[in-house]
């Protein structure tokens, strides 16, 4: 309980921040005033203020840099009390050219009780800021008359042609009769003698031709004062009769020494334009913590003013944090199963089970055979089963237990995978009429998604069996393999599994995988059952007749059962068998049972290696005939890494075959090294070595055969069905309890 108190506090803090940010965004967009061409308005105020006055005073500040702590809170109050007529920024009033920075400086300057003007500098121009400056304040270079004096503003950023500005300046001054003249340009025309921190050549007026032309014009027309910023210092120099002042201490970074300090410059213009200069130094140093808070505030301010995208992203992140905190604080979690749940009432009566699958008989595969065995087992217990599956041309007409869904697209040469029309209303109507107690899903997409939707509509629990490692089927998807494996297959399984009420897993290794990817739904490890008795009921005569038909005399026989597809790793077995025949004197034949879209390519590869006699692609075999094909063999070989259990391995063991397989998640739990077979890494030499050992050692082969029989006995379909009904019972009882709890919470 201790942990929840700080989490609860964090949740409410985050919620408050979220509300404040949303409120602040509403304020900025609905109540914060828009502004444009402010210089026109400010010049009008100045002209009106200086009307009939013999002299005036103004302050020059440089490098405000959106400072709140220094300029807004320390300098602005002094300026308001100083009896000034206007304030001029010599450049870099903003810390950058973003819309947020311009709006921030507008808010700061609005604290002044007197008119203000800005010089266009590097910071104002940064990041397309020139467009914002022009919109909010006006032209980059301009001039106006204040009393008997002229104030001139130039653009030193390169945005405007310096040749054009010099020509304009000469034309202006040649006709001007002002008593005094003040020029403002962000980049200093003269180099200072002081030790300036972080000084670079770009900080001064460039190019040299611009500098020389400007100095020539200043000298020719005897401009009284030239003000610049762009350097964090105060510097005053004389060239002829002109004062050159660099002032950079209105809020930006300074060193608080003899040359770099916070300050502003006061200029008093008397009768007939006589001007005097006074430095106003401020003995202040902003606290580092306050400086960081100010930076953080400007950052938050900028997030809202750059555009709605940043705002939406920020709110989304905060919402996610809020939800996460809420789940951590308020949602009660119990990681242990509820041992009080009683499945008895559900198991004492026949169950009605609807199964949704992307493939089913007559298509031959591990999942269809598993579903059919489960259906047969459940029906043997008196339950009723409805299988919702794709339509196949080879299917039988009379299938009372199957609801066939028309296919709109088939994939693979043989049409192994079918995309069905899951949007047909009759599917839902027929399943609803069936009145299922529980819905069993066998795939995490398409028909599985339909089944989950139907379960939610009918308010019955959904059980999902994790049959297949989807990431091994990336070759069927028109996407990069890594993208499919990492971002789609794992995420799809996790999302789907967490929506279900329980999960059935064939092995403990698959359970570990699901927990790693973040599945939290209650899981039950229950290996798929096999028809153990049927695989034992094979006569010697049946096996002998099959051998004669295949022309097998004294060879040892390897058997493998698999779909002929890339994910089954059959090329690995072909290469290994090609090496094995060179390493052993024992004659053998490999019977590869199964069909698939890779058959023609694999056959060509076998022929190119001259393996036609040793490696036989048998094709598909009817499920009823499979027991005698298993009994035909001496060793079962397997190399697929896409299995979650490898049901054919258990079938082979039920026929008394030891197994040599490539190690994978579905193999680890059923093949016990040195007991009922061998499992190796996907390394051809090791795999061949294990096969050769069993092949050449009759005693070891016999011992492993007996162990395989004992092991497979525990996986009978009868036992599987009984234990699966227990899982159904627990799921139904747990689902009913949750519904009752939700109903109670709603009534309360």
Residue range 576-587, pLDDT digits in tens? 999 999 999 999
pLDDT for 356 equals: 97
Rounded mean pLDDT for each run of 10 residues along the chain, 748 residues in total = 59 76 68 82 94 93 88 93 97 88 89 97 92 94 95 96 97 95 97 70 90 97 96 93 94 82 95 91 66 54 52 70 72 64 88 95 84 92 95 77 89 67 94 97 93 96 86 50 60 92 88 88 88 89 93 94 88 95 94 92 95 94 92 95 79 95 83 94 94 96 95 87 93 88 60
Residues facing residue 91 across a β-bridge:
none
Task: For residue 743, give both structure tokens.
Answer: 């109903």
CA angle 198, 250, 216 (to 5 degrees): 70
**Are 744 and 737 in contact, with CB atoms under 8 Å apart?**
no
pLDDT for 13 equals: 77
Q: Helices (H), strands (E): how many in the chain? A: 26, 26
**Are 716 and 533 in contact, with CB atoms under 8 Å apart?**
yes
Residues facing residue 150 across a β-bridge:
145, 181
Task: For residue 575, give both structure tokens.
Answer: 């290469």
pLDDT for 291 equals: 55
C-alpha distance from residue 209 to each of 163, 199, 212, 612 (Å): 9, 21, 5, 87
In whole angstroms, what is the distance from residue 519 CA to residue 50 CA?
A: 76
| Torsion angles phi and psi, residue 676, rounded to 5 | -115, 10
Domains annotated on the chain, with CATH: 55-195+210-286 (3.60.21.10), 344-525 (3.40.50.2000), 537-715 (3.40.50.2000)
What is residue 75's DSSP assignment?
A: I
In whole angstroms, what is the distance from residue 601 CA to residue 519 CA?
A: 39
pLDDT for 312 equals: 64
pLDDT tens-digit map of 498-537:
999 999 998 888 888 888 889 989 999 988 888 888 898 8
Task: For residue 221, give both structure tokens.
Answer: 């027309």
Strand ranges of the sheet holding 438-441, from the earlier edge strand across to the other edge: 402-405, 384-390, 352-356, 438-441, 462-465, 502-505, 523-525
13 contact partners, CB below 8 Å, separation of at least 6 = none
647-654 helix and 698-713 helix, angle to the nearest 10 degrees: 110
Residue at token pair 């004992």:
710
Break the chain down into helix, strand, coil percent, rounded to 5.
45, 20, 35
pLDDT for 719 equals: 87
pLDDT for 474 equals: 46
pLDDT tens-digit map of 132-162:
999 999 999 999 999 999 999 999 999 999 9
Rounded to two decimals, the pTM is 0.54
Q: Which of 474, 484, 481, 434 is nearest to 454 (CA)?
A: 434
């Amino acid at each position: 309980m201790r942990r929840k108190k700080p989490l609860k506090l964090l949740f409410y803090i985050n919620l408050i921040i979220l509300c404040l940010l949303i409120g602040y965004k509403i304020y900025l967009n609905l109540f914060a005033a828009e502004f444009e061409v402010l210089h026109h308005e400010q010049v009008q105020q100045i002209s009106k203020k200086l009307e009939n006055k013999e002299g005036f005073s103004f302050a020059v500040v440089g490098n405000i840099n959106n400072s709140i702590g220094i300029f807004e809170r320390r300098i602005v109050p002094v300026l308001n009390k100083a009896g000034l007529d206007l304030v001029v920024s010599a450049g870099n009033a903003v810390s950058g050219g973003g819309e947020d920075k311009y709006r921030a400086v507008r808010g700061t300057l609005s604290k002044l009780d007197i008119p203000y003007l800005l010089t266009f500098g590097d910071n104002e121009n940064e990041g397309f800021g020139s467009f914002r400056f022009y919109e909010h304040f006006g032209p980059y270079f301009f001039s106006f008359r204040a009393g008997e004096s002229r104030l001139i503003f130039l653009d030193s950023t390169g945005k405007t042609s310096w040749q054009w500005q010099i020509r304009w300046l000469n034309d202006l001054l040649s006709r001007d009769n002002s008593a005094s003249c003040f020029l403002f340009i962000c980049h200093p025309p003269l180099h200072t003698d002081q030790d300036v921190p972080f000084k670079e050549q770009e900080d001064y007026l460039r190019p040299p031709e611009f500098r020389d032309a400007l100095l020539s014009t200043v000298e020719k027309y005897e401009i009284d004062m030239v003000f610049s910023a762009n350097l964090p210092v105060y510097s005053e120099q004389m060239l002829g009769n002109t004062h050159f002042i660099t002032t950079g201490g209105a809020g930006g970074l300074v060193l608080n020494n003899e040359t770099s300090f916070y300050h502003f410059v006061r200029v008093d213009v008397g009768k007939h334009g006589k001007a005097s200069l006074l430095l106003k130094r401020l003995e202040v140093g902003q606290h580092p913590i306050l400086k960081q808070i100010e930076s953080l505030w400007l950052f938050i301010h900028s997030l809202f003013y750059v555009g709605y995208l940043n705002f939406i992203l920020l709110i989304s992140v905060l919402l996610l944090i809020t939800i996460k905190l809420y789940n951590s604080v308020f949602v009660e979690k119990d990681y242990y199963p509820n041992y009080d749940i009683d499945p008895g009432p559900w198991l004492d009566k026949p169950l009605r089970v609807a199964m949704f699958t992307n493939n089913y008989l007559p298509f031959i595969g591990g999942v269809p055979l598993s579903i059919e065995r489960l259906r047969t087992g459940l029906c043997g217990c008196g339950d009723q089963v409805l299988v919702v599956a794709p339509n196949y041309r080879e299917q039988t007409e009379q299938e009372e237990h199957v609801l066939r869904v028309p296919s709109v697209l088939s994939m693979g040469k043989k049409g192994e995978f079918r995309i069905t029309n899951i949007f047909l209303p009759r599917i839902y109507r027929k399943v609803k009429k069936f009145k299922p107690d529980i819905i069993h899903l066998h795939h995490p997409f398409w028909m599985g998604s339909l089944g989950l939707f139907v379960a939610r509509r009918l308010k019955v629990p959904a059980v999902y069996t994790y049959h297949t490692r989807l990431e091994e089927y990336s070759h069927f998807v028109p996407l990069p393999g890594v993208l499919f494996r990492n971002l789609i297959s794992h995420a799809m399984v996790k999302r789907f599994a967490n929506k279900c009420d329980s999960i059935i897993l064939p092995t403990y290794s698959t359970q570990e995988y699901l927990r790693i990817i973040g599945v939290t739904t209650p899981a039950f490890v229950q290996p798929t059952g096999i028809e153990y008795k049927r695989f034992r009921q094979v006569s010697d005569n049946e096996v002998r007749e099959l051998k004669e038909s295949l022309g097998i005399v004294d060879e040892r026989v390897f058997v493998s059962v698999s779909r002929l597809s890339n994910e089954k790793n059959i090329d690995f077995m072909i290469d290994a068998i090609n090496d094995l025949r060179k390493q052993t004197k024992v004659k053998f034949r490999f019977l590869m049972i199964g069909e698939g879209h890779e058959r023609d390519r694999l056959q060509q590869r076998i022929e190119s290696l001259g393996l036609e006699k040793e490696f036989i692609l048998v094709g598909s075999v009817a499920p009823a005939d499979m027991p005698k094909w298993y009994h035909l063999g001496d060793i079962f070989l397997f190399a697929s890494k896409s299995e979650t259990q490898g049901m054919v391995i258990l079938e082979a063991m039920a026929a008394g075959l030891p197994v040599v397989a490539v190690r994978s998640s579905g193999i680890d739990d059923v093949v016990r090294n040195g007991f009922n077979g061998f499992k190796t890494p996907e390394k051809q030499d090791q795999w061949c070595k294990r096969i050769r050992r069993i092949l050449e050692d009759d005693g070891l082969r016999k011992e492993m055969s007996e162990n395989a029989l004992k092991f497979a006995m525990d996986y009978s379909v009868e036992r599987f069905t009984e234990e699966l009904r227990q899982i159904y019972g627990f799921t139904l009882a747990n689902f009913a309890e949750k519904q009752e709890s939700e109903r109670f919470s709603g009534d309360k």
